[in-house]
Amino acid sequence: MFNVDRNIPAPACLSRKIYNHKDVTDALDGLFYGKCYLCEQGDLSDPEIEHFIPHEDDDLLKYKWENLFLSCSRCNSIKSNTHKDLLDCTSNNVSVFDEIIYLAGNAANGKIEIKARRNRPSKQVINTVALLNKCFNSSSTGLRGITKENLMEKLNEEYYYFMGCRMQLVGKRSTVEEVQQAKNKLKPMCKTSYPFSVFWKWHLLTDLRVMKRFPQIRKELGF
């Protein structure tokens, strides 16, 4: 999950009680960088319009612009109408990155670690962590087992690229030029628009070697 600035006005079709219109999907695709707001995978082949607060046939919630989010079909089906009282990543009062830690080191084994950052997280953080753990790790049905494997493969591909950059960054044989090249590669990975961006930020900040050598890495990479 990542913070989103909902800086596009509500498409006119919503006032006519149409939310699955191209104007809505195009606007959401732009706002959410073409990524699922829950798992952060990009280039979605199965995008869906997700109601952040389950509408349960309430027209106000069903067609409310602020309640429409972009998700993949896997996360949408897992969230369904059972996960409520979550962190709203479009709220100016919420910093998702400051509340939740994401680690992908065991992705090859099919296990992603999502946990609250604070010792006493809010109820919304607890609920969001529980949902995100299901989004990444659930294989409760045959189809979810397939979608999980596909999600892990996407994440693994990015993770191994990230680790290559990380080794170039801290490697003893790396030249000054190679270190700068590594920073140049990592910088776009830490932008919100990049797939699974929150993972790469947290892998840098929890990496003892990286933080020892580059204590200002967050500032240097612009996140």
33-92 pLDDT, tens digit per residue, is 999 999 999 999 899 999 999 999 899 999 999 999 999 999 999 999 999 999 999 999
Place 110 in a pLDDT band, splitting at 50, 70 and 90. Answer: confident
Average pLDDT value for residue range 2-22: 95
SS3 content of the chain, % helix, strand, coil (to 5): 50, 10, 40
String of DSSP letters for 144-205: HHHHHHHHHHHHHHHHHHHHHHHHHHH-TT--HHHHHHHHHHHHHHTSTTSTTHHHHHHHHH
Average pLDDT for 191-198: 97
Q: How many helices (H) and strands (E) does the chain have?
A: 10, 4
Mean of pLDDT values over 165-185: 97
Separation between Cα atoms, residue 12 and residue 23, nearest integer Å: 8
- Decide if 201 contacts 166 (C-beta within 8 A): no
Give the model's pLDDT for residue 104: 94
Extract long-range pairs of 80-83: CB within 8 Å, 24+ residues apart. 80/54, 81/54, 81/56, 83/127, 83/130, 83/131
Q: What is the distance between the alpha carbons of residues 29 and 50, in angstroms, rounded to a whole number?
A: 12
Mean pLDDT of 161-183: 97
Q: What pLDDT band is residue 108 in, cutting at 50, 70 and 90? A: confident
In-domain check, residue 134: no
Residue 170 pLDDT > 90, yes or no? yes
Q: Is residue 197 in a domain? A: yes
Measured between alpha carbons, how far apart are the two ends of the chain, in Å? 15
Confidence at residue 192, expressed as pLDDT on a 0 to 100 scale = 96
Q: What is the pLDDT of residue 107?
A: 84
Domain count, the chain: 1
Q: How many CA atoms lie within 13 A of 18 on its CB side?
A: 9
The range of the structural domain enclosing residue 180 comes to: 151-221
pLDDT for 59 equals 92
Beta bridge partners of 115: 101
Paired tokens of 98: 């400051």
Classify residue 204: in a domain, yes or no. yes
Q: With a cut of 90, say whether residue 10 has pLDDT above it.
A: yes
Average pLDDT over residues 24-40: 97
Q: What are the tens digits of pLDDT across the range 135-151?
A: 999 998 999 999 999 99
**pLDDT classification of 114: cutoffs 50, 70, 90:** very high
Distance CA 73, CA 77 (A): 6
Cβ neighbours around 45 below 10 Å, total: 8
